Structure 1
Amino acid sequence: MSAASSRSRAAARGTQGAGNTLGPLARNAWTWTRRIAPWALAALVLALVAQQARSVDWPQVWTSLQKMSPERLALAAGIAAVSYVVYAGFDLVGRHLTRHGLSVQLTLVTAAISYAFNLNFGALVGGFAMRLRLYTRWGVSGATVAKVIAMSMTTNWLGYFWVSGVVLMGAPPKLPGEWAMSDVLLRMIGAAMFALAALYLVLCTWSRRRTLAWRGHELELPDGRLAVVQAMAGGASWMLMGAIVWVLFAGRVDYPVVLGALLMAAVAGVITHVPAGLGVLEAVFVAVLAGTLPTSEVLAVVLAYRAAYYLLPLVLALPAYGWSEAVARRAPAGTRSAR
């Protein structure tokens, strides 16, 4: 064997060894980046929000809040209650598919309590941990709860995609400054979102394969009729949320503009992982409505929305959670679902 050939093989082994070393390093770096990036982004958003908050005339915001009529606030709270019932109904889809045996009433109460905790403390606390706790207290297995959660999330985002698609195609929002995008691009994004929602309906109606698998997770497809119910319920939930804010603005801002701002704020909150979208919701509405209404009035409306849709339901959910725990402890084991 020639010396040149030996050196070549040695170099190849060295390169392979370096590659084997760099592989785990690259994976570890990517893992840590995924863990740190959301928190870094959240810290940046909170810093920007804090900077903006210092420039707000908070006494004027309080004055704007005091000017809201009790009738308007009561109507907003009423719409919020209807919206919670609709959202809680998402879990009925999972109940239908899994046949877990829990009553309709207990399913709705469980979903509503979890949603209130989800909005105020984040998805891990409310959307997952609280749902798992409540359902398993009634004897529903963890695997079944996971399917219910997956179907609820699918219903929610299915509604988000088609409603966002319609808003972007029909009334693309006018984004300020560095956020600005052309109407053509926004309509294209809207069309793509609507198409994805439609694709789900097509798969549920005509696909021979009734289970979708991704990274070890499986999602059972409902039939076409149930998928349409999902789309309508998911869309109604988002539109009712927009109606709450629109009512609080007393018609001074067009409904599509309000709904578009709310939809953007929802995604921004998910990206930043800030619990309850604290500060993110306010920042998006202030940016979108800049030049339309004074900042103090916009913030007053968003704070009233938070009270009606976040805080009031949480006040009701806390004793409801205590009641459900007490009832579950007293319930005979034979009366609980074992599925």
Structure 2
Amino acid sequence: MKRVRHPAWRRLRHVLFAAFLVLVAVLLVRAARGIAWHEVWAALRALQPSTLAIGLALTAASYLVYGGYDLAGRAYAQHDLPARRVLAIAAVAYAFALNIGALLGGAGFRLRMYAKDGVPLGKVTRVIVFSAATNWIGYLVLAGTLLASGQVSLPPALAMHGLGDATVLRVLGGVMLALGVAYLLACRATHGRIFHARGHHFRFPSLRLALLQIALSVANWSLMGAVVATFLPQAGYAAVLTALLLASVATALVHIPSGIGVLEAVFIAMLGHAVPAPRLIAALLAYRACYYLVPLAFATLGFAVMELRGRRAILGAPANG
């Protein structure tokens, strides 16, 4: 039986979502008014080529690790597409997901590219769900570790309201780590069992595959943080990584392509007390160029090549038959 959600709950969700968007907009407007944009461009021009090269190298490593999500997903879904092809599909889908959204970019492009290679729809769906689960279960473990370790402190503006209490942060981190452990226990206890929910069926991966999920995801999030930290060495890696993790959740909540404005608002709120706003904005622009725009250019070219080769194969099939 289909569950009917209460209208009051739907209205509350809409109100909370609208309030969140308003908060982000207010933060952006306040930040934009106080930013000396000539200092932003000066900071960008001052970046050394070697710094940009490091950022691009870390980006390439991150995209390669992210491709591991789909390689592990191949084992989970049990399809036999070659590893090189899987890595190419994952990289293209990841770049489009970051720039135009997870649903259209990540899922949509995966569906098209895997289907063109003959992977059944059910197996493609399992890869998509597995990759999403990999991303967020590793997020829980990494963020939980940061919070529970006591390395993270919130900015003074929040601490004055009692939100910076180290005990609260450590408890939150412990809860996140507990969720990660619960996932591993579920994988160990229920592996092989098939669960049914609303016409869909799924199964947990093996414990070994679940551990690989966490390792891949933690590595990828860590590399993403390292890309930003390359352009913000004065902020410290732990603080930068914490801001990035928080910004990623905010971006996922508002569904704005590329998280435009949201990423900047969160970083200014978290690190604005320690790093001048022009430096922050310049660093985030450099990060976007390395992690979003350059991969998007390659992904667009790669997708065009895949499409062209696919059409040639279709046109050439009758003649070769």
C-alpha RMSD of matched pairs (Å): 2.4
Structure 1 residue 105 and structure 2 residue 84: aligned?
Answer: yes
**Aligned pair partner of 1:174 in 139, 145, 154:** 154
Is 1:223 equivalent to 2:206 in the alignment? Answer: yes
Structure 1 residues 205 and 71: alpha-carbon distance in aligned structure 2, compared to 1, 3 A threshold: same
SS in 2 for 1:252: coil
Matched residue type, 2:176: M
Superposed CA deviations along residues 190-212 of structure 1, whole A, max 9, x for unmatched, are 01111111121222223356335
CA shift, 1:114, in A, is 0.6
Aligned to 2:33: 54
| Structure 2 residue 55 is the aligned partner of structure 1 residue 76 | yes
Aligned length: 311
Equivalent position of 1:311 in the other structure: 293
Kept in 2, the 8 Å contact 1:211–1:219? The answer is yes
> What percentage of residue pairs aligned between the two structures are identical?
39
The CA distance in 2 between the partners of 1:117 and 1:237, in whole Å, is 17
Calculate the TM-score normalised by the size of structure 1. 0.84
Partner residue in 1 for 2:277: 295
Partner of 2:237: 255
Q: Is the alpha carbon distance of 1:215 and 1:197 closer, same or farther for their aligned partners in structure 2, counting shifts above 3 Å? A: farther
Residue matched to 2:194: 211
1:200 and 1:317 mapped to 2: Cα distance?
A: 33
Distance of aligned partners of 1:246 and 1:196 in 2 relative to their CA distance in 1, 3 Å threshold: same
Q: TM-score, normalised by structure 2?
A: 0.89
Matching residue within 71, 75, 80 for 1:92:
71
Equivalent residue number for residue 10 of structure 1: none
User: 2:107, 2:128 within 8 Å by CA — same for their partners in 1?
Assistant: yes
Q: Secondary structure at the match of 1:241?
A: helix
Q: What letter corresponds to residue 118 of structure 1 in structure 2?
A: A
Name 1:325's counterpart in structure 2. 307
Q: Match of 1:89, SS?
A: helix
Q: Distance in 2 between matches of 1:76 and 1:288?
A: 22
User: Structure 2: where are the runs of 5+ without partners?
Assistant: none
SS at match of 2:28: helix
Q: 133-142 or 319-328, which moves further after superposition?
A: 133-142
SS in 1 for 2:153: coil
Give the Cα separation in 1 of the matches to 2:144 and 2:196: 26
2:195–2:201 contact (8 Å) kept in structure 1: yes
Residue 102 of structure 1 aligns to a residue whose secondary structure is coil
User: Does structure 1 retain, via aligned residues, the 8 Å contact 2:27–2:265?
Assistant: no
User: Secondary structure of 1:321's partner?
Assistant: helix
Aligned-pair distance for 1:217?
4.1
Whose radius of gyration is greater, 1 or 2? 1
Q: SS where residue 6 of structure 2 aligns?
A: helix
Q: Secondary structure at the match of 1:218?
A: strand
- CA distance in 2 between counterparts of 1:215 and 1:176 reads 46
Cα deviations by residue, 1:290-318 (Å, 9 ceiling, x for unpaired): 22121111111111111110111001111
Q: Aligned runs of 1:111-150 on 2, under 5 Å?
A: 111-150=90-129
Displacement of 1:38: 3.7
Over 3 Å counting, the alpha-carbon distance change for 1:195 and 1:216 in structure 2 is: farther
Q: What's the CA shift for 1:253?
A: 2.0
Displacement of 1:132 after TM fit?
1.0
Distance 2:305 2:134 in 1: 28
